[in-house]
Amino acid sequence: MKEWWVQVGLLSVPLLAVYLHIPPPKLSPALLSWRSSGGYFTYKNQNIFYRDSTGAVGSSDIVVLLHGFPTSSYDWCKIWEGLTQRFHRVIALDFVGFGFSDKPRPHRYSIFEQASIVEGLVRHLGLRRQRINLLSHDYGDTVAQELLHRSLQWRCRFHLVSRVCIALRTIPRLCSSWRHHVLPHTTFLSSILQYINQRKKHRDRWVGALMSTSVPLHLIYGPLDPVNPHPEFLQLYKKVLPMSTVSVLDDHISHYPQLEDPTGFLNAYLNFINSF
């Protein structure tokens, strides 16, 4: 009898071949509406999807939302309206390889490229000299950290960040939360997953940016998050970043607090923003 792993391998090949030719599922009405409410800009021949809503009258504050892995800007749908009642501009994008943005193959996906895409969007919208708040989650946390690093290195050229709120995962860890509602099967997950190795390689650069910045930081934390177990993660976070403020949500909230508890998440974020 052949070794079990050989049999599994032989079975996996045709199944994978079939899987790669299965068309993606039809978009839900909610996703179709999300896409129709946005637009595209071009970054190095890649079409990048984004949404830009004008909100509160009398406010000049701008917030840019950076989504996690392996999802998209749609992760912010439940708090979008609430944000528009506080901010003058609410902006979110799909990183290259995610959501409605292009998914080039082959391609060397990197956190550095995603940060440059955020910069490109800011330039595209004519906001380069504006002070911008960042609200990030998961994969987007590392993009925010790279933007913080650049703001420290090139302060005369790059005044992007005024306040940063991080929804989980600032210390590089492995993501175990998988959601597939907008990530087509044709994306090279193995290429995108290189961000895990990048986090390890550039940990000093990105955690160092959080430790060195004078920008106000805030963490919104779900205690049931399997990626960042309670209380160890929170203890480590407070030890590494004692200047950051923290909001801890209800005990049943996990890795996607903006979806699991949009009201609690929004209140925590706005309390942080309104404290200045």
Instruction: State percent of the chain over pLDDT 90.
Output: 64
pLDDT in tens, 230-243: 999 999 999 999 99
**Within a 10 A sphere around the Cβ of 213, how many other Cβ atoms?**
18
In a 13 Å sphere around the CA of 90, the CA atoms on its Cβ side amount to: 19
The pLDDT, as a whole number, for residue 158 is 44
| Domains defined along the chain, listed by start | 38-274 (3.40.50.1820)
The pLDDT, as a whole number, for residue 168 is 53
| Concatenated DSSP letters of 234-263 | HHHHHHH-TTSEEEE--TT--S-HHHH-HH
The pLDDT, as a whole number, for residue 129 is 83
The pLDDT, as a whole number, for residue 174 is 28
The pLDDT, as a whole number, for residue 7 is 55
Residues in the chain, pLDDT under 50: 1-2, 156-158, 169, 171-188
The pLDDT, as a whole number, for residue 276 is 85
- H helix runs in the chain, sequence order: 4-19, 29-36, 77-84, 111-124, 139-153, 189-192, 194-201, 203-212, 232-240, 257-260, 262-273
d(CA 58, CA 274): 15
pLDDT in tens, 186-221: 334 567 778 888 988 999 999 999 999 989 999 999
Phi, psi for residue 66 in degrees, rounded to 5? -115, 115
Among candidates 212, 213, 230, which has minimal Cα distance to 221?
A: 230
